[in-house]
Structure 1
Amino acid sequence: MLRRGAGEWPGGRIEGIPVNILALDSALSACSVAVLADGAVRAVRRQAMARGQAEALLPMARAALEEAGLAFADLDRLAVTVGPGSFTGLRIGLAAARGLALATGLPLTGITTLEALAAGTDPAARLGRTLVALIDSRRGDVFMQAFDANAMPLSEPASADPAVLDAVLPAGPLLLAGDAAPAALDLLLKAGRDAELAADSESPDPVIVARLAAARPRPEGPVTALYLRAPDVSLPRAPVLRVS
């Protein structure tokens, strides 16, 4: 499990955004949380896991809050990744975040997995390239979205057959992020494209999820999942929520 304090994260404070926020992510193959207090990173917990997120996520959140010296009552907002990603992981993360929001009265902000991946890449690596976030759907296709050098969307989230990526992606140099990026890189290089991999970008960084949510207006309305494709698995039992 990864634990980091504020001093270990570059640019630990978000200028001009005094907000205490808890961010949750279980959309892909990891379970992670981050706590920001007055814009500074106070705690991060991250663990790779394909199963068991339902049992791990809320205890991880409580442990991160304890490490940060905060209680749920001290928070201003909650954030959660909303997909696309694993149907099971998304449902677990959303159920936990919605339950916490209901129990505490805190506003909940949803951040797409693709925008979190994009925003987590090195800004210097994006220069002169179109950034493409790619997620393996585990069903033969990829979820993808293109972004500019500022990690702002150039396209809507979509699903695509990896075999047609060369045809559907923008012309010019590419920077690829996400767990489907290595396989996509092989295909694109064979097609003669100029493409590179972004470093350490296979799963969303919960600190990035928190930063994106903190910079947005207070959310209005419910947070819903972005699936892109209908789920083809049975529903797991939602976690039992206890807020203290």
Structure 2
Amino acid sequence: MKLLAIDCAANLCAACVYDAGAGKELGRQVRDLGKGHAEHLMAVIETALQGGGLGYHELDAVAVSVGPGSFTGLRVGVSTARGLALALKIPAIGVTALEALAAEGANAFPGRAVLAALDAGREEIHAALYDKELAETYGASVATLAEAVAMAISAEAVLVGTAAPRIAQAAGRAFDTGPVAATADIATYARLAAARGPGEKPKPLYLRGADAKPQAGFILPRQDKGSEP
């Protein structure tokens, strides 16, 4: 199976082509953008395909990071993956950033529980706890720093994600730590998606609402059809 993986969940705009049968990456392109994923993603995808010597018609599946992460970036990545899947008549497979980071932590420290934790602002953390088999024991949710510390200590977990240093500091002790990043390497998403196979259509993992909300003062009152202009 030849699989295209894309990730716009955080600062990176990334894509890679992965050969699941051979277990190897064929081509990749990664740009550290911060913002502006929509303007760059198709060029990033095409560069990854060219590096792998493949055309769109040779793909068997599309994988995408579904977050948590940037509200706009997630919409760009997921809508692109679903659009490609529909056009090419192939499955789209979603992988969360938390499970991808946890997989990298488990690779660095085999046989250990992993706490994936991302800074979410507002003194909140997006967290998920995985056992030594990488099965979720605490599903992705919004946690306080105290709750994340309690999970890390009780599970003797490896820490991964941007919130890992803050958790260790609050706990007052050292932890084994994997990648301290907002997202995993793009090839990790590809490997996890290839192992999982098709399922439900991917959708963004929003653990809380968008920061931008309409201001009540700018909402116009509704007028009846028969009212005067």
| 1:181 is aligned to 2:164 | yes
Asked if structure 2 preserves the Cα contact closer than 8 Å seen for 1:20 and 1:74, the reply is yes
User: Which residue, out of 118, 136, 147, partners 2:102?
Assistant: 118
Q: CA deviation at 1:54?
A: 1.0
Counterpart amino acid of residue 206 in structure 1: I
Asked if structure 2 preserves the Cα contact closer than 8 Å seen for 1:121 and 1:201, the reply is no
Measured in 2, the distance between the counterparts of 1:200 and 1:226 equals 20
Asked if structure 2 preserves the Cα contact closer than 8 Å seen for 1:141 and 1:162, the reply is yes
Which residue is 1:232 aligned to?
211
Measured in 2, the distance between the counterparts of 1:133 and 1:55 equals 30
Counterpart amino acid of residue 230 in structure 1: G
Asked if structure 2 preserves the Cα contact closer than 8 Å seen for 1:123 and 1:150, the reply is no
Aligned length: 212
Q: Which moved more, 1:71-80 or 1:55-64?
A: 55-64
Residues 139 and 48 (structure 1), Cα distance of their counterparts in 2 relative to 1, 3 Å cut: farther
Which residue is 2:186 aligned to?
206
Q: Which moved more, 1:30-39 or 1:81-90?
A: 30-39
Which residue is 2:216 aligned to?
none
Task: Describe the superposition over 1:123-170 as per-residue Cα deviations: whole angstroms up to 9, x where unpaired.
Answer: 35244x421001111333110011122323222111112244223445
Compute the TM-score of the two structures, normalised by the length of structure 2: 0.84
Q: CA deviation at 1:177?
A: 0.5
Which residue is 1:147 aligned to?
130
Q: Which moved more, 1:204-213 or 1:147-156?
A: 147-156
Structure with max Cα Rg: 2
Q: Percent identity?
A: 35
Asked if structure 1 preserves the Cα contact closer than 8 Å seen for 2:117 and 2:161, the reply is yes
For 1:1-244, list aligned pairs within 5 A. Answer: 19-37=1-19, 38=21, 39-127=23-111, 129-169=112-152, 171-188=154-171, 190=172, 193-199=173-179, 201-219=181-199, 221-233=200-212
Residues 166 and 227 (structure 1), Cα distance of their counterparts in 2 relative to 1, 3 Å cut: same
Residues 142 and 197 (structure 1), Cα distance of their counterparts in 2 relative to 1, 3 Å cut: same
Compute the TM-score of the two structures, normalised by the length of structure 1: 0.79
Asked if structure 2 preserves the Cα contact closer than 8 Å seen for 1:177 and 1:202, the reply is no
Measured in 2, the distance between the counterparts of 1:64 and 1:211 equals 16
Greater helix percent: which structure?
2
Which residue is 2:217 aligned to?
none
Asked if structure 1 preserves the Cα contact closer than 8 Å seen for 2:105 and 2:177, the reply is no
Which residue is 1:3 aligned to?
none
Asked if structure 1 preserves the Cα contact closer than 8 Å seen for 2:168 and 2:174, the reply is no
| Structure 2 portions without partners, runs of 5+ | 214-229
Counterpart amino acid of residue 11 in structure 2: S
Asked if structure 2 preserves the Cα contact closer than 8 Å seen for 1:174 and 1:194, the reply is no
Task: Describe the superposition over 1:171-216 as per-residue Cα deviations: whole angstroms up to 9, x where unpaired.
Answer: 152211012212222112x2xx452221465422111111111112
Root-mean-square deviation (CA), in Å? 2.1
Give 3-state SS (helix, strand or coil) of 2:105's partner.
coil
